[in-house]
Amino acid sequence: MSPSLILLEPHLTLSAASARAQEPTSAQPWMATSGVFLLLLVALGIFGKIKLEKLFDRLKFEELKNVELQKKLKLALKTIGDMERNPDLIHSREINVEYLRMRMAEDIFHSMILNQLKVKVREKVTVALRSSQVGSGMVGIPTAGRQVEQIFDVEDKPDEIPNGKPRVLFRIQIKLMKLPGQDTSIIVAQVIHCIQKFLSPSVVVVDKHWQPVIQDRIATMHWDQNAKPTPLLVLEQLNEGVTAASSNRRSR
C-alpha cells in the first residue's frame, strides 16, 4: 500500500501547481478591461476640461464684446445728441430743401428724381396696399378702411465722383387710408401726382393754393420740421371726413 501512495503524491502535486498557474492567466482580461476603462475616464476628463475652458473663454470674450458695444452705443447716442444741438446743423434741413428746390428746376435732375419716385411709390405703396388686404383675410368688398404707412429714401448718385455711392437727398413718408371700393392703381397714381406736383417749381410760383387730394379726400404735404439733417417729406391723407367737394364749396 505504501508504494502506491508514494506514486500518487507527485501527480496530485502537479495538478495543484497547474491550477495555481492558471489563476493569473484568467485574471489578466479583467485587469486589461479595467485599465482601458480607466484610460477612457482620464481621456474624457481631459476632454471635458478643455471644452469647459473654451466655453469660459468664449463667455469672457462675449462679455467683453458686450461691454465694447455698450460703450459704442453710448458714444453714438452722445454724438447724435451733440449733432442735434450743433448750431451749424440746426438749419441744415432748410439748406437741403433749398438745394433740392434749386436742383428740381434742372430738367435732367427733375426727370431723374420723378422717375425714381414713380418706381419706388409703385413698389412700396402697391405692395403695402395689397398685402394689407390679403393679411386681413377680407372677402369681397371691405366695409372699413385700412391704414397704410410707408417711408423710403430718394437717392442721387453724383456724376462728378467716379464710382461714387448714392447719397440720400430726402425721405418720403406716406400715410393714407385705403377706402372700400378704391382701386390700388388709382391710389398709386394719385400719390405720384401729389408728390410730383408738390416738388414741381411751378407750385411755388404759379399755384400757391394747390391742394393735394387722394381718394376724393383732402391730403396734406409738408416738410417735417423735426427731421434733420435729412429732409422728410410727409404726405398724409386726412380721415376726418373732409372731402375735396366739401372743401371746394367752403372755399367758394
Quick one: pLDDT at residue 174?
92
Residues of the chain short of pLDDT 70, as ranges, are 1-28, 80, 83-93, 131-145, 158-162, 164, 202-208, 239-252
Quick one: pLDDT at residue 103?
82
Considering the domain boundaries, does residue 7 fall inside one? Answer: no
pTM: 0.56
Quick one: pLDDT at residue 14?
46
Cα dist from 236 to 9, 191, 194, 198, 252, whole Å: 120, 10, 11, 13, 24
How many domains does the chain contain in total? 2
Quick one: pLDDT at residue 251?
45
**What distance in Å separates the CA atoms of residue 80 and residue 74, rounded to the nearest whole number?**
10
Considering the domain boundaries, does residue 3 fall inside one? Answer: no
Q: Tell me, yes or no, whether 36 and 100 share the same domain.
A: no
HSE on the CB side for 39, CA within 13 Å? Answer: 6
| Beta-carbon contacts of residue 85 (< 8 Å; ≥ 6 apart) | none
Quick one: pLDDT at residue 132?
52
In which domain, by residue range, is 75 found?
Answer: 25-85
Q: Tell me, yes or no, whether 137 and 75 share the same domain.
A: no
Burial 26-54 (b: 16+ CB within 10 A, else e): eeeeeeeeeeeeeeeeeeeeeeeeeeeee
Q: Tell me, yes or no, whether 112 and 234 share the same domain.
A: yes
Q: Tell me, yes or no, whether 121 and 227 share the same domain.
A: yes
Q: Tell me, yes or no, whether 108 and 219 share the same domain.
A: yes
Q: Tell me, yes or no, whether 80 and 188 share the same domain.
A: no
Quick one: pLDDT at residue 249?
45
